[in-house]
Amino acid sequence: MRRKKTPNIDFIVGMAEEFVNGGDYWNFTLDFMHNFIEKYDAMCREDEVYADMINYYLFQKAFDIHHDDPEDKLRKIMKKALKELKFDDIL
């Protein structure tokens, strides 16, 4: 089996996607920041530009500001942040 090139990036983006698609609100709000901080250096080694984009779109612009918001509002904000992350024409 072939090993992924960006397992840490995939993990963080996957957490956000899972939450947006109906994942557990409490697990996400409790674990996202911890996992993001823990994996950020490794994400930068995998792809520094994309890690910075993840930091801006998913963490700074969405989660960090809105992590205490109601579940439905946080899902909408994270969904929009994921869309912006994937739409950005830097990639």
pLDDT, tens digit, for every residue of 47-59? 999 999 999 999 9
Asked whether the CA dihedral 69, 72, 77, 78 is positive or negative, the reply is positive
Burial (0-12, 13-18, 19+ Cβ within 10 Å), 33: middle
Taking a C-beta distance cutoff of 8 angstroms, is the pair 19, 28 a contact?
yes
Two tokens, residue 6: 């960006």
Average pLDDT over residues 19-42: 96
The pLDDT confidence band at residue 88, using thresholds 50, 70 and 90, is low
Per-domain residue ranges for the chain?
7-87
- pLDDT of amino acid 90: 53
pLDDT at position 87: 85
Q: Work out the pLDDT band at 1, boundaries 50, 70, 90.
A: very low
Mean pLDDT of 8-32: 96
pTM, full prediction: 0.87
Q: What's the mean pLDDT in 11-20? A: 97
